Amino acid sequence: MRILHTMLRVGDLEKSLDFYTQVLGMRLLRRRDYPDGKFTLAFVGYQDESEGAVLELTHNWDTSSYDLGNGYGHIALEVEDAYKACEEIKARGGKVTREAGPMMHGQTIIAFVEDPDGYKIELIQRDSHVD
């Protein structure tokens, strides 16, 4: 078994696709409209679905926003340099909610960004995973 994807419901698909592809540098792998069901599925990731897990962005045409609730945590991405990644994300119009630095009570270098729907994405600096 392996993880195929994680699904996120998004209120504005174009805004979300722009964030994940232009700000975070993922690729749009596939997209399909389902007119009878009034929804669109778009899959984004850094590698092909056959090679690793990706994100499924689900846009229900009649829903413009969602309550994130208190059960959702975050998506984690490994980056070479968390400080540089934050600067690049801000330069591309992304929202950094926690600047890069050591995690509380540890040494791993992390940062957090937020997508257009409020989903948190943690950036974890490669080679700093000591906690």
**Catalytic residue check, 122:** yes
- What is the CA angle 47-24-14, rounded to 5? 95
> Which token pair is 117?
């729907």
- What is the CA angle 15-85-94, rounded to 5? 25
DSSP, residue by residue, 61-116: TT------TTT---EEEEES-HHHHHHHHHHTT-EEEEEEEEPTTS--EEEEEE-T
Percentages helix, strand, coil for the chain (3-state, rounded to 5) are 15, 40, 45
Q: From the candidates 14, 80, 99, 122, give the one annotated as an active-site residue.
A: 122
16 SS3 class: helix
Active site residues: 122
